[in-house]
Chain A
Amino acid sequence: MGQVRDEEIGEPVAALGAAEPTSTIIGRTPWQIFWMRFRKDRVAVGAGVFLIALALLAITAPLIAHDLVHHDPNALFRDTLDEIGLPTVGPSAEFWFGVDTSGRDVFVRTIYGARTSLLVALLSTGFAVVLGILLGSLAGYLGGWVDTVVSRAIDLTLSLPVLLFSIGIAATCSITAEGCLGGLIQPGISLVTAIIALFTWPYIGRIVRGQVLTIRNKEFIEAARAMGAGTGRILLRDVLPNLAAPIIVYGTLIIPSNILFEAALSFLGVGIPPTTPSWGRMISDAARGQLYTVAWWMLFFPGMALVLTTLAFNLVGDGLRDALDPRTQVSG
């Protein structure tokens, strides 16, 4: 919708500008203002471009692996290893990022790792945001016992030792073939996503609850209620649009921490399945037994990918926050 309105208003603005070069008061939607402010933030735009490129790389990873590099992520080139299984081939024309201790192409596994990282981070953030909005807005709007229950649930979740608890859940669900909760949770990507979402939603939930608390007594809500709107309609039509900015900002800032969360779980060996490429697992492979002293590329490339990706998400998040908050001054 924002795009369409942009153009509707954009055209006359240009026409007016041509006719009357002196400054004019122009009607802009909040999204137009946001975009104007955001695109002036070169760092954030650069980070956004990086993320788009990364996403493209992740989406096209099978094509790149199969048709460009001709190495599948689990193909073993064991003649690149020495007698005791140490990789002998570093970054080279054949293997751009070198090989790991199984003789697999580190470049191909790094771009496949982007798939895993982005998939897990986006999915878990998505679930966390949905859950956080739902529970947070209900708690904030309805108050009373609903608020008490949700707020205590938030406190409880935030007080859990996250890493220990995740390791426990992941380990428990990995022992049997069926997974746990009667097969509902399978070890692997779905389990990791569920764990991360479970520990992330309170951050969104708490912010949403706070925002709703301040909004729910505003006059336009009173007006809507007076006109006979139900709770669902008020939440959806009147409250939610006013929460968009903080949700977008916090959602974007949670993504990088979720990427790191996934990497940490995989590093500890309780994350995604062993043969699925993952940056965390690649880093843990390289760290084991001082391997990086022999094959630095095993640590460097997935490590850089992880650092750059989380940095980019943080920069974009900062840019979004600055652009969406009318109180901040945008420089440049």
Chain B
Amino acid sequence: MKRYVVLVGLLASLALVATACGGGGGPTETGPTGATGGIPTGGILREETTDFGFTNAFDPTGEYLGTAWAIYGNFLLRGLVSYPWLPGEKGGNEPVPDLATDLGEVSADGLTITFTLKDGVMWQPPLNRPVTSQDVAFAFQRINTKSLIAQYGNYYCGTIVGMDCEGKSQEDPIEGIETPDDKTIIFHLERPTGDFLYRLAQPAAAPIPPEVAGCFDKAGEYGRYVMSNGPYMLLGSDELDISSCDTLEPIKGYDPDKFMYVVRNPNYDQATDENRKNYIDGWSYVINTNLDDIYNRVLNGEIDLAHGAPPAAILQQYLTNPDLQDNLKTNSGDRTWYLTMNLIVPPFDDIHVRKAANFVVDKAAMLQATGGPTTGEIATTIEPPTVLPDLADYDPYPSPNHAGDVEAAKAEMAQSKYDKNGDGVCDDPVCDNVLMINRNYEPWTEYTPILTENFKQIGINLKVRELDVSTAYTTIQTMSNLIPIAANAGWGKDYASPFGFDYFLFSTAGLSCEGAVNYSNIGLDEELAKECGDEVYEAWKAATDNGRNPLPNVDADMEACVAKPFGPEYNACWADLDRKIMEEIVPWVPYRWGSQNTVLADTVVAWEYDQSAGWTAYSRTAVNNGLTMDEVAQV
């Protein structure tokens, strides 16, 4: 169990890192440029990136990167349910039937869900056969296989009867999944699970053909051989020799170090699909390590699209030049950026210091330093309102214009044990050289001067270490480092339910000696503190008065919320929990709800945002560049 948690935590944060690299912003108008009747078809959508950043080598069973989810969903994989590839305000976070005829039939006790598959959904060449319920079951067998490392397998294991993610072989059937015929699949659950449809919409739950994937039993291997039942397929994937496992050669249209090309799947029937529009003839995704060059190429129309906020000087052009304003898209990224404070390390082992931190941080300056409103909106609580609308107006630590309230911060600091003379400024030696971990690139490096000055006002002198992103995460994930405060962390949704947001970050499931994501150590008990080394145990004893005053724990609150029926009651339960965390535990200073920025060239004539993956809805995007894949692909 421990190792499992370590793994999930580490991988979850890896995914986060990866999604975080995509960019940041605030929910605004999206809208395609006149996406009505006369949208042209054809052309190749050309995109570049500095790094693919896949977390599991593009194997759908384990892949945890938002970009990959957009590629699977729009191009390659049709699951029982999926999303409509639209922004949040148009229902982009709501599951809709895709491979299934409807959203499933749920039994009265909520424990059995039955789906029927549509007719006419085929696998690409050379498979050339209909998609069956056994293909769906096979995807779950892969999730359950330990060696394949399903990075978010926790959404299924423990929920579907017979799944524990410890399976030996992907051939082993799962007790709780029945396939009475090729078109019917029945799931048996351990307990009613309000957000089960969301979990089914994840790419790992989409069907996988055993003929090809069955040849690969190590994590990530199948990523070079992904078979499509969607509107597009990887270039050259139709040339696979599937006569035996030995004859399979990696698909030539995907080189993990260079490019990925997709082209139309001849076996796809548009009549079976209401949500994908499939205007383009293909998509090219090429690695270019020069970020500035990527944005210059978009400006020059040499490529069609790039994700993420451009460098400040280029961003300014998009914001001020009327000809370019429509070419910069800003959408909610469903993610929160925050400072995390450690409940067992002075001075943050005192709740008044943590509250003072919430008051003193100039969130307006943080947003400005990130690149302004384009990059997001100021966060006042844990979950963005796009995930949990109940808390849209909740701000427990208000300040004028969100620029920080020094007086309120000092009032809190004065109540702490580290301010002996009560003047609101820490006068204890623990406030000197307080280590803060940060990332070593923009905009994080811009936060260093702001936070240093902010915290100085309450007597906390930060000593900032700026590290590369993965080192920064590893550093704060290792409990024995006892990092007091960190500014490098962010969290993005897996799917639009508060569960995915709160569970690992604050429950004891997110605690471990290494690879923890509950960086604040909420609920850390004596047993684990001892296991993680003498330093941790000593810190734990000091922070809990030798265990007489245990750390707060929200596990029971979470269990109560998970069991609520999906809907208003479910959201209200999580909203109450968020209030409790923000006011009674205070592990974070949330400062920005990040947005996703996309820049388009004039060649893009229709564009839509896919809220579910936080990325371009490729299946609803059109270009007029008239190119063919032969002219673009450099295979």
Contacts and interface: CB of A to CB of B under 8 A. Distances in A.
Q: Do A and B come from one complex?
A: yes
Given A85-B446, A176-B475, 12 more contacts: A84-B368, A84-B372, A102-B369, A102-B446, A102-B450, A175-B475, A177-B463, A274-B449, A274-B466, A275-B449, A291-B312, A294-B312
Interface of B: 291-292, 310-316, 319, 362, 365, 368-374, 435, 438, 440, 442-443, 445-446, 448-450, 452-453, 463-467, 471, 475, 481-483
A289 interface: yes
Contacts of A176: 475, 481
A84 B319 contact: yes
B371 A74 contact: no
B21 to A, nearest CB: 15
Contacts of B443: 85
B464 A274 contact: yes
A78 B367 CA distance: 12
Contact of B442 (A175, A187, A274, A288): A288
Given A84-B315, A175-B467, A290-B313, A274 B445 contact: yes
Contact of B369 (A75, A101, A175): A101
A176 B435 CA distance: 9
25 contacts: A75-B453, A76-B453, A78-B365, A78-B368, A83-B368, A83-B373, A84-B319, A85-B368, A85-B446, A101-B446, A102-B446, A104-B449, A174-B467, A175-B467, A177-B463, A269-B466, A273-B464, A275-B448, A275-B452, A289-B291, A289-B310, A289-B312, A289-B442, A291-B312, A291-B313
Interface of A: 74-76, 78, 81-86, 101-102, 104, 171, 174-177, 187, 269, 273-275, 285, 288-291, 293-294
Contacts of B374: 84
Residue from B310, B313, B465 having most chain A Cβ neighbours under 10 A: B313
Nearest to A101: B446
Contacts of B467: 171, 174-175
Contact of B440 (A74, A269, A290, A291): A269
A74 B449 contact: yes
A273 B465 CA distance: 8
A290 to B, nearest CB: 4
Nearest to B440: A269
Contact of A177 (B435, B448, B450): B435
Contacts of A171: 467, 471
B372 A83 contact: yes
B368 A81 contact: yes
Nearest to B364: A78
Nearest to B367: A85
Given A174-B467, A273-B463, A289 B313 contact: yes
Contacts of B370: 85
Contacts of A86: 312-313, 316
Contacts of A285: 445
Contacts of B482: 177
A164 to B, nearest CB: 15
B572 to A, nearest CB: 36
A244 to B, nearest CB: 41
A289 B311 contact: yes
B374 to A, nearest CB: 7
Contact of A74 (B314, B315, B453): B453
Contacts of B310: 289
Contacts of B442: 288-289
A171 B450 CA distance: 23
Contacts of B312: 84-86, 101, 289, 291, 294
Nearest to A102: B449
A102 B368 CA distance: 9
Nearest to B456: A74
A290 B368 CA distance: 18
Contacts of A78: 362, 365, 368
Given A84-B368, A177-B481, A273-B463, A290 B453 contact: no
B313 A294 contact: yes
B481 A274 contact: no
A294 B466 contact: no
A101 B438 CA distance: 18
Given A81-B368, A84-B368, A275-B448, A289 B314 contact: yes
A293 B443 CA distance: 18
A293 B313 contact: yes
B474 to A, nearest CB: 9
A85 B369 CA distance: 5
A160 to B, nearest CB: 22
A83 B316 CA distance: 10
B471 A85 contact: no
B311 A290 contact: yes
Nearest to A84: B372
A294 B471 CA distance: 32
Nearest to B451: A275
A285 B313 CA distance: 13
Contacts of B445: 269, 274, 285
B465 A288 contact: no
A121 B354 CA distance: 40
A289 B448 contact: no
Residue from A177, A187, A273, A294 having most chain B Cβ neighbours under 10 A: A177
**Which 10 pairs show the lowest CB-CB distances between chains A and B?**
A289-B311, A84-B372, A290-B313, A83-B372, A102-B449, A274-B448, A177-B435, A85-B368, A294-B313, A269-B440
A294 B310 CA distance: 14
A269 B311 CA distance: 18
Contacts of A293: 313
Contacts of A84: 312, 315-316, 319, 368, 371-372, 374
Nearest to B403: A78
B465 A174 contact: yes
B575 to A, nearest CB: 31
A285 to B, nearest CB: 8
Nearest to B435: A177
B425 to A, nearest CB: 18
Contact of A76 (B371, B450, B475): B450
Nearest to A87: B312
B189 to A, nearest CB: 44
Contacts of A177: 435, 463, 465, 481-483
A209 B86 CA distance: 74
Contacts of A74: 449, 452-453
B341 to A, nearest CB: 15
